[in-house]
Structure 1
Amino acid sequence: MTRYALLLRGINVGGRTKVPMAELRQLLSGLGYAGVATLLQSGNAVVECDHGPGELVAEVERAIGDRFGMAVPCLVRTEEQLRGVIEGNPLATVHDDGAKLLALFLSEAPDPELLRHNDPTRLDANHIRVGERVIYQWCPDGARNAPDVRRFVEQNLKVSVTARNWNTVCRLREMLAG
């Protein structure tokens, strides 16, 4: 079985997509996943299953839609993938506050041609770096005062994005290694 971090986009943010974590854990356990745990109230979960990533995403998105009546995009990462995000952080020497460093996870690698014409680093060349299926963004004045990389990427690169602060990324990796 493989352990995955589930990154559910927009859960419990802004009041429109309320999903109690106890109900999410119950839903995921009911799908037959083992080792179900959640982190914070914002759509982070860890599960173990025999599914591949695509099958897992489809099943979780369908189950959330059926149970809660909402479309919630789900991205998944393994412990190895999260370790790669952490070890590959090109802003590691720049940031000093994990709450102000974001990892914007992409549903898939963007088309290289689209990326060439729509490079998100142009939004803030000093604070944004593109990695493998992740964009790193340092927000020294807080995320609310930083360029909206998520919206830019979704509109221009045509991939789904969900962001987590660095503290959450590191904690999810610890849970997966656990």
Structure 2
Amino acid sequence: MTSYVALLRAVNVGGTGKLAMADLRAMGEALGFARVRTFIASGNLLFDSDLPEGEVKAQLEARLAVYAGKRVPVLVRNAAELAAIVAADPFPDAHGSRHMVFFYDAPPPPDVIAECRDIQGERLALGTRELFVDYGEGIRFTKLKIAGKQDRTGRNMNSVKKMATLLNA
């Protein structure tokens, strides 16, 4: 079995896309996933499955569409990929709560950083299927604009590290 995390986009953030984590766990269990659990209330489902990543994503998105009445994008990583993201962190000196990892289904466009607007001291770096952003003094006052908002979901590095640990436990 492979250990996975499914990262739901736009769930329980800013009052949109409300989804109880108990309901999310129940969906995972109904799909036959093992060791199903959630991490914080922002749409992180951790589980084990024999299915490949693409099938996990398709099944979760289909179940979530029925539940929410609209498409809920899901980005999936296995335990090894999440551990590799943590190990490859280009900003290990960044404060974990102000250092975001934006997850994509495929490698981000190579020009995504060049296309960013209003960079004011933030540090950005491309990963394999991620964009790392260190917001320095904090995300609260940033003016940074990254294109393709609908194509990604973000988690802070503290959460990414914790989920990597939980998946490898």
TM-superposed CA distance for 1:16, in Å, is 2.2
Aligned pairs for 1:1-178 within 5 A? 1-93=1-93, 95=94, 97-112=95-110, 115=111, 118-120=114-116, 123=119, 127-149=123-145, 152-154=146-148, 160-178=151-169
Contact 2:122 2:133 in 1 (8 A): no
How far apart are the structure 2 equivalents of 1:59 and 1:24?
A: 13
TM-superposed CA distance for 1:145, in Å, is 2.0
Unaligned regions of 5+ residues in structure 1, if any?
none
Contact 2:8 2:74 in 1 (8 A): yes
How much is the aligned-residue C-alpha RMSD, in angstroms?
A: 2.1
Query: Residue by residue, what CA displacement relative to the aligned partner does 1:51-98 show, whole Å, maximum 9, x if unpaired?
Result: 1111111110110111232321000111111111111111113x1x21
Q: How many residues align?
A: 169
Unaligned regions of 5+ residues in structure 2, if any?
none
Contact 1:37 1:46 in 2 (8 A): yes
How far apart are the structure 1 equivalents of 2:112 and 2:139?
A: 25
Contact 1:3 1:79 in 2 (8 A): yes
TM-score (norm: length of structure 2): 0.90
Query: Residue by residue, what CA displacement relative to the aligned partner does 1:93-127 show, whole Å, maximum 9, x if unpaired?
Result: 3x1x2111101111111354xx2894549835751
Contact 2:108 2:126 in 1 (8 A): no
Higher share of residues assigned helix = 1
Question: Counterpart of 2:31 in structure 1: which amino acid?
Answer: L
How far apart are the structure 1 equivalents of 2:46 and 2:61?
A: 15
% identical aligned pairs: 30
Q: Specify the SS of the correspondent of 1:145.
A: coil
